[in-house]
């Protein structure tokens, strides 16, 4: 049984027994899948980042959101008032000046939300004269919990965020309690009645263990699989004798790692990944990662059917509306609480959802023909400067 057959049977009921005499079959039997998964233990974030497709998918989602600059708007929900874009607060331009800039901060925040379901930052690190934060230094989600306060003077049952000291820190005084209003917190997949979200590490722990088992078994296939090659000898042998030489040679390779025989040589040829089912095994893990992270399979390198522009555009649009919006909306709400009252924070995703140049200019042509937009408005949307003279249609809207 090769990997392709084993993967195909994952959705079927487990058989009562499978042969376990061959090392490869032993690794691929259902009983050993269960036992191997049990020996994997808890798959940490650091370990999961090394699994095929998982770390790449998380970084891709983080990079997309890091490209979406936030801006502040007023009267967003009033249909009778036009949307007014306001000057961006310093905390949105650079949430942590002591670090590496906005894009690095946002990518790290989104990665925390994906892995752990939560992103935390200290809102009171550097308040301005009105009490709004000017910095949002991130706090590792593993250090933060939601618990009842034990500080004197608090009302009974008062709930607070509890921040534990960093791992390996010395000279600290135990836990630190933070009021809800003083903590920046964005979360996804929050169960009803709970405060904390759930990320990949908690929600997909069983899947992560399965992926580790598949990676282990792939290594065993490489180690114990039968290499492709050619046995040559100058001794006359019939088919049964050649079969015996082959069996003895393979047994010697498996036992000692070498296969020397008298008057017979074995010329090993290159490994065939498809025959060893390494390609289906890797594709299986990548498809698991695609489902786990919410990234289209083709972005993780999964072979797929013939693709055309419309397919890519549709999948990318769905990716922005489903996966990216899943993290974008909680971050917008959390950042809105960090700016003056009456303002809302929204991410600008126009550059990510823009169609190609041919489609845009076809739309502009229609808009101009029906007098829906002026040439000046079209050029502004394309980030082009005004024309040096009158517009081509005789109007003076673009005159310098």
Domain contains 71 = yes
User: 42 and 116: one domain?
Assistant: yes
What are the two backbone dihedrals, phi and then psi, of residue 63, each rounded to the nearest 5 degrees? -65, -35
DSSP string, 268-327: E----TTTTTHHHHHHHHHHHHHHHHT--GGGGT---S---HHHHHHHHHHHIIIIIHHH
User: 234 and 318: one domain?
Assistant: no
User: 237 and 314: one domain?
Assistant: no
Domain end among 269, 298, 331:
269
Domain contains 141 = no
Which of 316, 284, 295 is closest to 59 using CA atoms?
A: 295
Domain contains 348 = yes
Which of 315, 111, 338 is closest to 103 using CA atoms?
A: 111
Residues 142, 116 contacting (CB under 8 angstroms): yes
The alpha carbon of residue 373 and the mean position of all alpha carbons in its chain are separated, in whole angstroms, by 39
H/E stretch holding 160: strand 159-163
Model confidence pTM above 0.75: no
d(CA 329, CA 82): 21
What are the two backbone dihedrals, phi and then psi, of residue 358, each rounded to the nearest 5 degrees? -65, -45
User: 118 and 262: one domain?
Assistant: no
User: 239 and 102: one domain?
Assistant: no
d(CA 281, CA 263): 38
Domain contains 167 = no
User: 335 and 375: one domain?
Assistant: no
pLDDT of residue 112: 96
User: 244 and 303: one domain?
Assistant: no
User: 287 and 392: one domain?
Assistant: no
pLDDT of residue 155: 86
CA distances from 197 to 116, 121, 148, 200, 372 (A): 7, 15, 18, 10, 45
User: 197 and 58: one domain?
Assistant: yes
β strands within 4-133, DSSP E: 70-74, 84-86, 118-122
Domain contains 165 = no
Residues 37, 214 contacting (CB under 8 angstroms): no
Domain contains 176 = no
User: 278 and 240: one domain?
Assistant: no
Domain contains 111 = yes
Mark the ranges of the chain whose per-residue pLDDT is less than 50: 1-31, 259, 262, 394, 398-400
Residues 1, 23 contacting (CB under 8 angstroms): no
User: 323 and 234: one domain?
Assistant: no
Domain with 374, as residue range(s), is 367-400
User: 212 and 350: one domain?
Assistant: yes
pLDDT of residue 106: 94
Write b or e for each residue in 94-117: b if 16 or more Cβ atoms lie within 10 A of its Cβ, otherwise e.
Answer: bbbbeeeebeebbbbbbbbbbbbb
pLDDT of residue 117: 96
Domain contains 164 = no
What are the two backbone dihedrals, phi and then psi, of residue 266, each rounded to the nearest 5 degrees? -120, 115
Helices then strands, counting H and E runs in the chain, come out as 16, 11
Edge to edge, the sheet with strand 118-122 lists 138-139, 118-122, 183-187
How many structural domains is the chain composed of? 3
d(CA 72, CA 332): 10
């Amino acid at each position: 049984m090769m990997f392709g057959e084993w993967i195909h049977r994952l959705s079927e009921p487990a058989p009562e027994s499978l042969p376990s005499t061959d090392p490869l079959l032993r690794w691929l039997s259902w009983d050993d899948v269960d036992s191997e998964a049990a020996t994997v233990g808890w798959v940490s974030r650091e370990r999961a980042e090394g699994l095929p497709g998982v770390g790449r998918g998380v970084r891709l989602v983080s990079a997309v959101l890091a490209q979406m600059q936030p801006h502040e708007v007023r009267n967003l929900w009033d249909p009778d008032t036009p949307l007014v874009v306001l000057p961006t607060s310093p905390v949105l331009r650079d949430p942590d000046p002591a670090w590496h800039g906005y894009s690095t901060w946002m990518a790290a925040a989104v990665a925390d939300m994906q892995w752990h379901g939560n992103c935390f930052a200290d809102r009171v690190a550097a308040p301005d004269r009105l009490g709004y934060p000017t910095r949002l230094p991130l706090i590792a989600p593993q250090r933060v919990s939601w618990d009842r306060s034990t500080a004197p003077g608090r009302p009974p049952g008062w709930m607070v965020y509890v921040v534990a000291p960093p791992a390996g820190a010395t000279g600290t005084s135990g836990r630190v309690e933070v009021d809800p209003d003083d903590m920046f917190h964005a979360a996804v997949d929050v169960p009803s009645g709970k405060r904390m979200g759930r990320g990949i590490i908690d929600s997909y722990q069983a899947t992560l263990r399965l992926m580790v088992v598949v990676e282990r078994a792939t290594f065993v296939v490489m180690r114990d699989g039968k290499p492709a090659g050619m046995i040559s000898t100058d001794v006359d042998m019939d088919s049964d004798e050649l079969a015996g030489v082959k069996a003895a040679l393979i047994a010697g390779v498996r036992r000692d790692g070498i296969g020397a025989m008298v008057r017979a040589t074995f010329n090993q040829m290159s490994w065939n990944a498809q025959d060893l089912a390494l390609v289906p095994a890797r594709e299986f893990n990548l498809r698991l990662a695609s489902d786990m992270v919410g990234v289209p399979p083709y972005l993780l390198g999964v072979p797929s059917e013939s693709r055309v522009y419309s397919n890519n555009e549709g999948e990318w649009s769905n990716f922005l509306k489903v996966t990216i919006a899943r993290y974008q909306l909680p971050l917008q709400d959390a950042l809105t609480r960090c700016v003056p009252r009456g303002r809302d924070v929204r991410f600008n995703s126009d550059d990510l959802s823009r169609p190609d140049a041919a489609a845009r200019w076809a739309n502009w042509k229609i808009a101009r023909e029906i007098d829906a937009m002026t040439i000046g408005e079209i050029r502004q949307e394309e980030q082009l400067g005004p024309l040096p003279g009158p517009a081509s249609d005789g109007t003076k809207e673009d005159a310098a």
